[in-house]
Structure 1
């Protein structure tokens, strides 16, 4: 094995972790892959023998690449939320694919990724690297061009935003599925009262329909408003297939052999606190659903 092959082998041992970092930063699987590839290119141009902690070095490189990508989005005057739902990671209802486990560690649900998208680039990096991957502030500070104390403050502000916006979700998948099934049964049966009962009073529904006529980003708040929207489900003729969406109970709705929407549910205290719907035809066509039954 020559030196480059040996370096590539060492890099591959960190690929899953690096993609997990990039996915949390960017909310895009394709861009996460691009960030990881850029880290490899930078490593291949570096004297790797002089790198004492390769994993730590690569993590900070990916963080820096992602920060640049986020700042580029801002410079293009994209909206704070980019008016798009983060890319969902779809798994069979009976368990997450082994290759997806690193990507979804720490229960990185779509609701959390939506909140992360609302953070400024530097706040997002400080929170993701420190709170999710235990990178010391001394290593984060040079990436954001701040002192360690200032980097700590960035993470602290982000942490308050996250805690104030994302409730602690139910971890028990079977309980999640029971609540989701109750929601779906009430929606199909047109039972408004049952829908309101299974929804948290402050539930939020977010839908990304992409650039289709009448589409775009929709956000609805409150149990009665969301229940009214959910009653529209019974008019749709599709096969709702149970799935895990970012490791939590959800559905992939199929019609005519093609995905029509992906629904992700966040459950807390036996109620639905968030529903995230991806219904952008272009992005749905790019999903890998071969592992769904």
Structure 2
């Protein structure tokens, strides 16, 4: 393959990776899909490819759909122990973030909701909401009719919005202040203050550090506050599991503020927060081995702010 063909693919790599990540919710799987797309680009009759960008988009999208439809992946995700892989702000795999829809489409809240869609509905939703493809273009990518694309988009949008209550978009500085208050209350045992920071319909979803077979889910302010308070209470067993006493940093993850537990430069846990109207509407806790690799690598390559809590 000549250098021009390689350059053409590399010019699209970032967009393909961010598309694959939104479809699969896994950075590692997204990288595999992009690499498989490159291999197909190598062997393609490129002289007959009229629009390389459209061709590459079609290939990576359908590779992702094949994976979502596979029996193994359906079993893994149906088992109820799957959460999206969190990514640190600035990771190119997060892709476009110019509009509210683009930013929301990569949040852990929406990526989790997309699991409830069929693979085709998920693809149409992502292509439409995050990448602004027309229904005619989506029809060409997925091999469906324009009318079918519109119907899939409508159903997907209804299912996503039915599960979410939107408030005013919170600016990052305000959202961080809410999370700082939350962390102070969670680690000090001030349960009443903790409850006051939660919305009436708050939810928490956690992988339980991967120790169980299913995700942990809690609703109601009191139950969420109790779970959080127990989770942030330091114990010798937790320190052994983490490999030491973590420091807590706050950093943007998937467009939302997150608390990162860091031991000697290694991220051992992440809790991402969705802040709505000045209170916390949802929390997503990830600590399972293998789900924090890319986040940790990005963390090691940057100069972090001082920890909010340096001893635990």
Task: Please give the range of the TM-score, normalised by the shorter of the 2 chains.
Answer: 0.7 to 0.9
Question: Quick one: distance in 1 between partners of 2:133 and 2:114?
Answer: 18
Shift of the 202–74 alpha-carbon distance from structure 1 to 2, 3 Å rule, reads farther
Which runs of 4 or more aligned residues in structure 1 lie more than 4 Å from their structure 2 counterparts after TM superposition? 73-76, 142-145
Work out whether 1:207 is the aligned partner of 2:200: no
SS of corresponding position for 1:78? helix
- Contact map agreement 1:264 1:276 (CA 8 A) in 2: yes
Q: CA RMSD in A?
A: 2.4
Question: Quick one: distance in 1 between partners of 2:58 and 2:164?
Answer: 26
Question: Quick one: distance in 2 between partners of 1:256 and 1:202?
Answer: 36
| Structure 2 partner of 1:284 | 292
Question: Quick one: distance in 1 between partners of 2:71 and 2:141?
Answer: 18
| Structure 1 partner of 2:273 | 265
- CA apart distance, 1:123: 0.8
| Structure 2 partner of 1:219 | 217
Residue 163 (structure 1) aligned to one of 148, 152, 161:
161
- Contact map agreement 1:88 1:245 (CA 8 A) in 2: yes
SS of corresponding position for 1:32? helix
| Structure 2 partner of 1:250 | 258
Question: Quick one: distance in 2 between partners of 1:188 and 1:210?
Answer: 19
Superposed, 1:45-56 pairs within 5 Å as 45-56=43-54
| Structure 2 partner of 1:59 | 57
SS of corresponding position for 1:77? helix
SS of corresponding position for 2:117? coil
| Structure 2 partner of 1:188 | 187
- CA apart distance, 1:148: 1.9
SS of corresponding position for 1:219? strand
| Structure 2 partner of 1:120 | 118
Question: Quick one: distance in 2 between partners of 1:60 and 1:81?
Answer: 29
- Bigger mean CA deviation after superposition, 169-178 or 143-152: 143-152
Q: TM-score, normalised to structure 1's length? A: 0.88
| Structure 2 partner of 1:228 | 226
- CA apart distance, 1:166: 3.2
- CA apart distance, 1:219: 0.9
- Contact map agreement 1:141 1:151 (CA 8 A) in 2: yes
- Contact map agreement 1:206 1:219 (CA 8 A) in 2: yes
Question: Quick one: distance in 1 between partners of 2:125 and 2:200?
Answer: 29
Shift of the 189–165 alpha-carbon distance from structure 1 to 2, 3 Å rule, reads same
- Contact map agreement 2:96 2:130 (CA 8 A) in 1: no
- Contact map agreement 1:60 1:139 (CA 8 A) in 2: no
Q: TM-score, normalised to structure 2's length? A: 0.83
Structure 1 unpaired stretches of 5+: none
| Structure 1 partner of 2:310 | none
- Bigger mean CA deviation after superposition, 138-147 or 266-275: 138-147
Would you say how many aligned residue pairs link Structure 1 and Structure 2?
A: 285
- CA apart distance, 1:119: 1.1
